[in-house]
Amino acid sequence: MSTGTTLANIRNLLHQSGFKLTPQREATVLVLLENEKDHLSAEEIYMLVKKKSPEIGLATVYRTLEMLTELKVVDKVSFNDGLSRYDVRKEGAKHFHHHLLCLECGSIEEVEDDLLGDVELIVEKKYHFLVKDHRLTFHGICSKCQLKKKEQAVLDKEAAATTLP
């Protein structure tokens, strides 16, 4: 549980922004807070929220996520798989966290390090582009799949050795 972004904070924000706090919205926020590291899709969030708010409809989850995204409570990220993922924004975070997307198993890991340094300033000055946010995703192979591939390579080698007369 992040020290900054809490249910109470989000309640306040909704109120200040003129939105009502419904049980469905609260359940959705709770699920997001409980699963901060998981980069859940809307459908996944829906399934989890349903356990807290069984009558909820998928469309409501989508609406809630959209509202939270516009309020900048939540970050929405698209990878190349046709799904959007939703993360609670770390309050006070200086930059958006980055993602490591495994091309083999589809797992997504977070990188909190500030990898960009002053790049936003460079972009603003050189390209006259007022930067509000950014997204950085690395596509590659996670350590687990790298291990798997090594093991598989070993097995393949042994199988070939066994086959030889």
Footprint of a copy of itself on this chain (CB under 8 A)?
Answer: 76-80, 84, 100, 102-103, 109, 111, 113, 115-116, 119-120, 122-123, 126-143, 146
How far is the CA of 134 from the CAs of 41, 76, 99, 112, in angstroms?
20, 11, 12, 13
Task: Between 27 and 102, name the residue whose CB sits nearer to DNA.
Answer: 27
Q: Which of DNA, a copy of itself, none sits in contact with 153, Cβ below 5 to 8 A by type?
A: none
The reply on whether position 112 binds DNA by CB under 7 A is no
Q: Interacting stretch for DNA, rule CB under 7 A, among 22-30, 91-99, 129-137, 149-157?
A: 22-30
Q: Which of a copy of itself, DNA, none sits in contact with 27, Cβ below 5 to 8 A by type?
A: none
How far is the CA of 148 from the CAs of 33, 108, 138, 152, 157, in angstroms?
32, 17, 20, 6, 14
Tokens describing residue 4? 């900054």
In angstroms, the CA 117 to CA 120 distance is 8
Query: Using the rule CB under 7 A, which residue among 58, 93, 119, 145 binds DNA?
Result: 58
Nearest approach in angstroms of CB 36 to DNA is 19
**Cβ neighbours, 10 Å, residue 92:** 9
Candidates 123, 133, 137; CA nearest to 95 is 133
Tokens describing residue 42? 């809307």
Residue 101 DSSP SS3: strand
Q: What is the largest CA-CA distance in the chain?
A: 78
The reply on whether position 25 binds DNA by CB under 7 A is yes
Q: Which of a copy of itself, DNA, none sits in contact with 53, Cβ below 5 to 8 A by type?
A: DNA
The reply on whether position 8 binds DNA by CB under 7 A is no
Sites for DNA among residues 80-109 (CB under 7 A): 82-84
- Kindly list the residues in this chain that would bind DNA in the complex (CB under 7 A): 15, 19-25, 41-43, 53, 55-60, 62-64, 66, 82-84
